[in-house]
C-alpha cells in the first residue's frame, strides 16, 4: 500500500494542506472538531510525516546523534538506555553510532550524523585529538556538540564526565590500605581516558612512597576482538606473574578490562583475592554475584546521560552565538564499592 501524503489527506477531507498540517501539529488556529477528524483519518490511513520536509520547513529533525566507542560494556549500554529515556521525554529521537575506538570509523560516523541533519551530537571521542578539526567545524557550522565520558578534549563546549585522576587514585589507595602495593594497571591502548586514569594511579603510589615499576603498566589494544583481548591479557599477566617481582593487585582502568579479568585469572589458576586483589571501573549490576564478588569503581551513568543531554538541548534551543555561551565542565562523583576481590587474606 502506497503511503498517503499530507496533500492526499487534504484532498480527501476537502481541506487545505496548511490546515491539515496545523491540525496534525495541534495548532490553536484549528478547531478541536477539525483536529479530531484529521488525526483520526491520518491514523486510519497510517500517515507518516516526511522528516525531510519537516527539516526543510523548521530547520530541525528532532534527532540527536550519539557517538560512543562501542556498546560491548554495561556502562555504554546503561548510557544509551538513559539517553533514550531522556530524549523521548523531551520529544527527541536518538541516532546511535559506534567508533569502535578507531579514528577513521569515528570520522565516518560523524559525517553520517551530519548528513542525517541531526540537531546536535553527544560524543565520547576515541582519544584526546581524534578528528578535532572535524568536530570543531561541526560544532561551529552544523550543530552543537557536547562531550561526555571522555572529556579531555580541546573543544570549547559543555563537558560531562568524572574526575578520572581522583577516581583511580582512590581505588589504588584502597589496594595500598590492604597492603597490596605491587599493583598492575591495566590500560586501554590509545584511548582518551588512559593518561588521566594512569595519573591517579601514579600519584597514589608516589604519595605512599611506593616505587613506580613501569613493567606493571599493561596496555591492551581495544581494536581487537574480546577473545584476542583475553589472549593479550593472559600473556601480559603471565609475564608479570613469572617476573622476579610478583604483583599482588590489579586495577582495571576500563570496564572491558575489569570485567574480563576474573575469567583470565581463573584460567591461569591465580586465586582472587588470596594471590591477587582486583578492583576496577565497572557498572555491571551482577558484580556482587561473581566469584569472588568484584570490587568496582561505579560511574553515575543516569546522571551523566541526563545532564549531557540537557546541556545539548540547551545549546540546540539557544539563540546565542556559541562564542557568547559560558560552557561548563561538570565532574560527577564516582563511588567505590568494595567486595571480596579486594578483601584481606
Pairing of strands 295-298, 277-281: parallel
Given this model, what pLDDT does residue 48 score?
Answer: 77
Spans of the chain below 50 pLDDT: 1, 345
CATH architecture of structural domain 59-162+301-334: 3-Layer(aba) Sandwich (3.40)
Given this model, what pLDDT does residue 298 score?
Answer: 95
CATH architecture of structural domain 164-300+336-342: 3-Layer(aba) Sandwich (3.40)
Given this model, what pLDDT does residue 243 score?
Answer: 82
Given this model, what pLDDT does residue 2 score?
Answer: 56
Given this model, what pLDDT does residue 154 score?
Answer: 94
DSSP string computed for 219-258: EE-TTS-HHHHHHHHHHHHHHHHTSSS---EEEESSHHHH
Query: Helix 17-24 vs helix 6-13: angle between axes, to the nearest 10 degrees?
Result: 110
**Cα 25 to Cα 60: distance, rounded to the nearest angstrom:** 15
> Is 121 in contact with 106 (CB distance < 8 Å)?
no
**Cα 289 to Cα 297: distance, rounded to the nearest angstrom:** 16
Respond yes or no on whether the N-terminal peptide bond of residue 292 is cis (omega within 30° of 0): yes
Given this model, what pLDDT does residue 50 score?
Answer: 66
Q: Which residues, including other chains, have CB under 8 Å from residue 61's CB and lie 6 or more apart?
A: 51, 54, 55, 116, 117, 118, 119
Q: Which residues, including other chains, have CB under 8 Å from residue 96's CB and lie 6 or more apart?
A: 65, 66, 67, 68, 71, 80
**Cα 283 to Cα 278: distance, rounded to the nearest angstrom:** 15
Q: How many beta carbons lie within 10 A of that of residue 207, not counting itself? A: 12
Given this model, what pLDDT does residue 1 score?
Answer: 46
Equal fold, 59-162+301-334 vs 164-300+336-342: yes
Where do the structural domains in the chain lie, given as residue ranges? 6-49, 59-162+301-334, 164-300+336-342
> Is 47 in contact with 6 (CB distance < 8 Å)?
yes
Comparing CA positions, the residue from 253, 240, 128 lying closest to residue 202 is 253
Amino acid at each position: 500500500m502506497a503511503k498517503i501524503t499530507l496533500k492526499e489527506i487534504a484532498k480527501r477531507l476537502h481541506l487545505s494542506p496548511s490546515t491539515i498540517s496545523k491540525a496534525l501539529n495541534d495548532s490553536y488556529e484549528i478547531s478541536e472538531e477539525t483536529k479530531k477528524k484529521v488525526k483520526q483519518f491520518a491514523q486510519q490511513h497510517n500517515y507518516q510525516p516526511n522528516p525531510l520536509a519537516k527539516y526543510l520547513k523548521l530547520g530541525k529533525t528532532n534527532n540527536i546523534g550519539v557517538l560512543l566507542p562501542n556498546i560491548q560494556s554495561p556502562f555504554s549500554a546503561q548510557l544509551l538506555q538513559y539517553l533514550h529515556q531522556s530524549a523521548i521525554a523531551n520529544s527527541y529521537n536518538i541516532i546511535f553510532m559506534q567508533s569502535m575506538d578507531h579514528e577513521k570509523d569515528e570520522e565516518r560516523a560523524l559525517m553520517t550524523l551530519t548528513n542525517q541533519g541531526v540537531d546536535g551530537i553527544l560524543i565520547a571521542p576515541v582519544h584526546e585529538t581524534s578528528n578535532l578539526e572535524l568536530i570543531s567545524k561541526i560544532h561551529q557550522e552544523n550543530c552543537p556538540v557536547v562531550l561526555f565520558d571522555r572529556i579531555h578534549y580541546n573543544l570549547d563546549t559543555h563537558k560531562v564526565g568524572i574526575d578520572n585522576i581522583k577516581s583511580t587514585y582512590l581505588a589504588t589507595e584502597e589496594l595500598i590500605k590492604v597492603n597490596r602495593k605491587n599493583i598492575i594497571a591495566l590500560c586501554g591502548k590509545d584511548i582518551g581516558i588512559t593518561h588521566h586514569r594512569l595519573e591517579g594511579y601514579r600519584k597514589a603510589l608516589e604519595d605512599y612512597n611506593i616505587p613506580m615499576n613501569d613493567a606493571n603498566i599493561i596496555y591492551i589494544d581495544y581494536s581487537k576482538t574480546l577473545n584476542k583481548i583475553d589472549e593479550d591479557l593472559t600473556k601480559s599477566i603471565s609475564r608479570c606473574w613469572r617476573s622476579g617481582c610478583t604483583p599482588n593487585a590489579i586495577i582495571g582502568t576500563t570496564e572491558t578490562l575489569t570485567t574480563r579479568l576474573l575469567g583470565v585469572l581463573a584460567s591461569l589458576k591465580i586465586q582472587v583475592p588470596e594471590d591477587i586483589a582486583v578492583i576496577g571501573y565497572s557498572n555491571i549490576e551482577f558484580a556482587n554475584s561473581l566469584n569472588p564478588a568484584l570490587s568496582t569503581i561505579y560511574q553515575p551513568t543516569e546522571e551523566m546521560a541526563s545532564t549531557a543531554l540537557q546541556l545539548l538541548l540547551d545549546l540546540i534551543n539557544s539563540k546565542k552565538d556559541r562564542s557568547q555561551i559560558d560552557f561548563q565542565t561538570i565532574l560527577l562523583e564516582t563511588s567505590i564499592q568494595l567486595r571480596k576481590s579486594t578483601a584481606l587474606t
